[in-house]
């Protein structure tokens, strides 16, 4: 490491913050930036990265905390139970400081606090006296995930980032070994790792760009037709497993058009695939019994028994791919000579890509998120929001990878949460489980093709206005615990409707949210949280924010506020 690394990193941080996240507080941006580099192998999107920021009062020495199961970022309360035995469960803990060295005190904090935070028998009411709400919720989610999975392989990574550090004191490394021992004492079967990221190491991470070119080795030369860009071939199971596996040995989530959560688990179809993989018959190849997978890429270059793919995405075959990846965990067999059928299509045009995804998944129960992105209503929302200088990520990481400003990117999850809060008036669902938006009953309600496009802009603007207002209180509260309830009340107040429809909301898409109005409505939520705490004994705000009964009472108060304000206005 050298002093030049410090200068280069400072320049990079200043440039990146100005370009992509100028509204984030500087300390949050530093953690966001380091997390983005450190977690590249997991392909997180901007929502994933922002959700892990826990810096502030009572943070126990933790600035960022992230949970991944087989490369899926766990940031809501939906149980992850479908990934089978021996799934990879990774807990990543970050501390990022704009300092010139690593201190033993920073490690000591984690040595003391992590055993308390990661204790299945912990008392959360006691924890709340010295731990902030976001950190309590994140560690609870980790513990629940660990219990719900079937004998997961647990890895705990602790990384200390020091933006101006150029050296590491030997005694600090000794302390790191002590922290690893503490983690082993907490979870006997885990693989702990403590790393120190100085300016040089962080610069190296920045230079490591995820490969956009992937090579797929075929068992034989592929078959192609007169139509350029389409190939059919068979790939040895081991070679295909290598293609879908990341550098850390995990299933590479970045290859899948669908969310890895779309894996359906122990269904009859998947058990059949498992049995076929486990029963290696010398006279029957795997691809004879399986529909195979479909891959699209922006460019395909053949070279004998190999295809060079630029920005490949597996758009059909998540179930087959996951079972092939998992088979090595179930069996220690030597190289498997069988093959899987693979279709590879060059599709640089977005519309063609959508047609391929629709067609290749029309006969399957493929997870919903990949199909939702191709819906006409999703494309229309994207086009409309572009006119408002907002970038709608109907496809995961599309604008994030292009380095667009984070505060101008709106994900499908976030849009669903805003509509659930403002017009469906279920902010507790939005807070608890963002993934619910893909369920048929919810999706068809939220993303109905007859809804006016201006209403989607209004909903996301109301949610953003809530976040902006609450950011002034971020050192005392978790913004997530209030933003959805506040957006709901703002929708009622500005549309002047007890149950505003999407057409009502379309009329207020550019309405200004007065600070005085937000403050009045915020006080309603606080009062109802306080009342519910006294009545139920629940003191953790995230649990109140996810409670349907609390929403019902806040909704009644909001409607009462509307009635009283209407009378005072002579309406």
306-310 and 213-217 beta bridge pairing: antiparallel
Instruction: List all residues 6 or more positions away from 295 whose beta carbon is below 8 Å from its beta carbon.
Output: 216, 309, 312, 313, 314, 315, 342, 343, 344, 345
Residue 188 has pLDDT above 80, yes or no: yes
pLDDT of residue 367: 44
Residue 571: pLDDT over 70? no
Q: At what angle do helices 480-495 and 515-536 cross, to 10 degrees?
A: 120
pLDDT score of 158: 98
DSSP 9-64: HHHHHHHHHHHH-TTS-HHHHHHHHHHHHHTGGG---HHHHHHTB--STT-TT-SE
Task: Please give the pLDDT value at position 362.
Answer: 55
φ/ψ of 340, rounded to 5, equals -115, 145
Distances (CA, A) of 526 to 169, 485, 492, 529, 530: 47, 10, 18, 5, 6
pLDDT band at 1 (very low <50, low <70, confident <90, very high): low
Confidence of residue 453 (pLDDT cuts 50, 70, 90): very high
Per-residue pLDDT at 364:
44
Top mean pLDDT of 165-169, 228-232, 241-245, 355-359 is at: 241-245
Does residue 465 have a pLDDT over 50? yes
* Residue 93 vs residues 59, 195, 434: alpha-carbon distances, Å: 12, 10, 23
Encoded tokens for 494: 């500005």
Q: Which of 61, 275, 249, 230 is nearest to 153 (CA)?
A: 249
Q: What's the pLDDT at 330?
A: 59
The whole-angstrom separation of Cα 257 and Cα 558 is 40
Q: Which of 163, 118, 123 is nearest to 17 (CA)?
A: 163
List the chain domain ranges: 3-207, 213-366, 376-565
> What's the average model confidence in pLDDT over 234-253?
87
Comparing C-alpha atoms, which of 260, 320, 251, 216 is closest to residue 78?
260
For residue 473, is pLDDT > 60? yes
Q: What is the pLDDT of residues 38-85, one digit of tens each?
A: 998 888 999 999 999 999 889 999 999 999 988 789 998 887 766 666
pLDDT tens for 367-393 read 445 567 778 899 999 999 999 999 999
Q: Give the range among 154-163, 463-472, 475-484, 553-562 with minimum mean pLDDT.
A: 475-484
Integer Cα distance of 570 and 565 in angstroms:
9
């Amino acid at each position: 490491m050298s002093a030049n690394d410090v200068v280069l990193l400072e320049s990079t941080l200043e440039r990146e913050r100005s370009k992509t996240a100028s509204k984030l507080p500087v300390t949050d941006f530093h953690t966001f930036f380091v997390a983005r580099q450190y977690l590249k192998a997991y392909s997180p999107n901007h929502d994933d990265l922002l959700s892990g920021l826990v810096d502030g009062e009572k943070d126990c020495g933790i600035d960022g905390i992230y949970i991944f199961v087989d490369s899926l970022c766990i940031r809501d309360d939906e149980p992850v139970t479908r990934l089978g035995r021996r799934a990879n469960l990774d807990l990543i803990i970050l501390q990022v400081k704009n300092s010139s060295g690593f201190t033993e005190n920073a490690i000591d904090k984690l040595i003391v606090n992590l055993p308390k935070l990661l204790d299945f028998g912990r008392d959360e009411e006691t924890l709340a006296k010295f731990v902030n709400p976001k950190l309590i919720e994140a560690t609870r989610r980790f513990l629940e995930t660990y219990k719900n999975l079937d004998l997961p392989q647990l890895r705990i990574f602790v990384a200390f980032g020091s933006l101006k550090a150029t050296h590491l004191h030997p005694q600090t490394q000794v302390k790191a070994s002590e922290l690893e021992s503490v983690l082993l004492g907490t979870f006997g079967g885990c693989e702990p790792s403590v790393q120190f990221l100085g300016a040089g190491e962080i610069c190296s991470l920045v230079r490591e760009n995820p490969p956009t070119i992937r090579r797929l080795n075929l068992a034989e030369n592929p078959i192609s037709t007169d139509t350029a860009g389409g190939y059919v071939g068979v790939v040895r199971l081991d070679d295909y497993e290598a293609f879908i596996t990341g550098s850390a040995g995990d299933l590479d989530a970045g290859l899948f058009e669908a969310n890895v959560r779309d894996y359906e688990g122990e269904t009859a179809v998947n058990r059949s695939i498992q049995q076929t993989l486990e029963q290696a018959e010398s006279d029957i190849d795997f691809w004879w019994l399986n529909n195979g997978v479909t891959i699209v890429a922006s460019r395909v270059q053949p070279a004998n028994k190999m295809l060079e793919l630029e920005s490949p995405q597996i758009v059909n075959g998540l179930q087959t791919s996951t079972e092939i990846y998992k088979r090595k965990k179930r069996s220690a067999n030597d190289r498997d000579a069988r093959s899987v059928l693979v279709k590879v299509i060059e599709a640089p045009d977005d519309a063609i890509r959508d047609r391929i995804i629709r067609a290749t998944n029309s006969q399957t129960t493929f997870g919903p998120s990949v199909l939702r992105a191709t819906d006409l209503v999703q494309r229309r929302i994207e086009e409309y929001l572009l006119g408002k200088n907002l970038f709608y990520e109907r496809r995961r990481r599309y604008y994030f990878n292009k380095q667009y400003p984070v505060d101008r990117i709106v994900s499908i999850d976030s849009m669903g949460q805003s509509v659930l809060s403002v017009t469906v008036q279920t902010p507790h669902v939005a807070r608890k489980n963002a993934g619910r938006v893909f369920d048929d009953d919810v999706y068809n309600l939220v993303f109905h093709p007859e809804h006016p496009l201006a209403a989607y802009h209004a909903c996301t603007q109301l949610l953003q206005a809530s976040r902006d207002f609450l950011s002034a209180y971020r050192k005392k509260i978790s913004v997530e615990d209030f933003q959805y309830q506040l957006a709901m009340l703002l929708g009622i107040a500005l549309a002047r409707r007890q149950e505003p429809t999407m057409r009502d909301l379309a009329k207020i898409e550019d309405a200004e949210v007065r600070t005085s109005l937000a403050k009045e409505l915020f006080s309603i939520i606080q009062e109802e949280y306080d009342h519910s705490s006294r009545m139920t004994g629940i003191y953790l705000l995230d649990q109140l924010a996810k409670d349907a009964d609390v929403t019902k009472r806040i909704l009644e108060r909001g409607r009462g506020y509307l009635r009283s304000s209407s009378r005072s206005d002579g309406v």
